[in-house]
Amino acid sequence: MQVFNNGAEWHNYWIQTLQTHKSIGFVPTMGALHEGHLDLIKASKKTCDITVVSIFVNPIQFNNAEDFEKYPVLTDQDLSLLRQEEVDYVFLPSMETIYPESPVLSFNFGNLENVLEGEFRPGHFSGVGIIVSKLFNIIRPTIAFFGQKDLQQVAIIKRLALDLSFPLEIQVVPTKREKDGLALSSRNMRLTSIEREKALLLIKSLNQAKNELLTGESWLEVRNKVQQLFEEEALTQLEYFELVHPETFEVFSEFDPHKKSSICVASFVGNVRLIDNLSINP
């Protein structure tokens, strides 16, 4: 495994070795790696000639400074794990490498960023757009791999790739879950044992809502029941529970079994904000 710390090093290597001969699979991460990241890496290794993983905690996608400060940084552990997975290359840039100056550019993704995560985390998707654009320009992957857990982010990145004509494919890998259903997230390690148990309310509510919709209950009834469940649990604070189109993020007021739809949820559990989603009609 070879580690690169700046874009110039990678560019020189790419020119000499990769540009005409190898398909490049790319897994961008913010570190604190878990089995969900490993699923992305395995998908890349299965599909592409080489796999590149980046580790960079991107400050401009955090709309909460405290959240950025508390984000777990486990670089040595991450590199050890990537060696075990026999990753080919790691891009591990410094803050100064990525942002030699504070960026003045911003992105507006229209309706995609006006709902759900965009509504509750203003500026988040612009920060995502900037870092992903930088990484795509530096690494020049053939295929980039993202997890379905970040469903709205996936839609944003697909729009970014389309509008800016990045010559790559976006591949989405299903959400990796614990045996009890909790979606894997680097934020989970910040949960206490009690909060970890209460966090299961996210997937329980998603499964309950999906089952009730498919048996004919109205979305309004289903949503009201879920909101009550969260209100009854003192350790949770529900931000949204919405039925959306998984690509356009149009918010539906009722369930149509003939339309693509997913349920998305975001809630604080203690002081940790978690998100999850579940497809109803893929």
Task: Give the per-residue pLDDT at 80.
Answer: 97
- End-to-end distance of the chain based on CA atoms, in angstroms? 37
pLDDT class for 53, splitting at 50, 70, 90? very high
Q: What does the pLDDT read at residue 63?
A: 86
pLDDT of residue 14: 81
Q: Is 15 exposed, middle or buried (0-12, 13-18, 19+ CB in 10 A)?
A: exposed
Which CATH class name applies to 186-275? alpha beta
Q: What is the pLDDT of residue 13?
A: 82
| For the chain, domain boundaries | 2-173, 186-275
What is residue 65's predicted lDDT score, i.e. its pLDDT? 85
Residue range 268-275: mean pLDDT, rounded: 96
Are the beta carbons of 129 and 107 closer than 8 angstroms?
yes
* More confident site: 10 or 80: 80
Task: Please list the active-site residues.
Answer: 37
The 10s digit of each residue's pLDDT in 64-73 is: 888 899 898 9
- Give the pLDDT confidence of 55-66 residue by residue, as tens digits: 999 999 998 888
pLDDT for 186 equals: 93
Q: What is the mean pLDDT of residues 210-229?
A: 97
Q: Check residue 281 and give its pLDDT.
A: 82
Model pTM score: 0.95
Annotated binding-site residues for beta-alanine read 61
- Cα–Cα distance measured from residue 38 to residue 4, given in angstroms and rounded to the nearest whole number: 20
Q: Residue 117 pLDDT > 90, yes or no?
A: yes
Average pLDDT over residues 259-265: 97
Task: Give me 144's structure tokens.
Answer: 């980039």
Name residue 131's amino acid. I
CATH number of 2-173: 3.40.50.620
pLDDT of 163 above 80: yes
Residue numbering of the annotated binding site for (R)-pantoate: 61, 153
pLDDT for the residue numbered 16: 79
pLDDT on residue 60: 96
* Residues that constitute the known binding site for ATP: 30-37, 147-150, 184-187
Can you tell me the distance from the alpha carbon of 184 to that of 200, in angstroms, rounded to the nearest whole number?
11
pLDDT tens-digit profile of 231-242?
A: 999 999 999 999
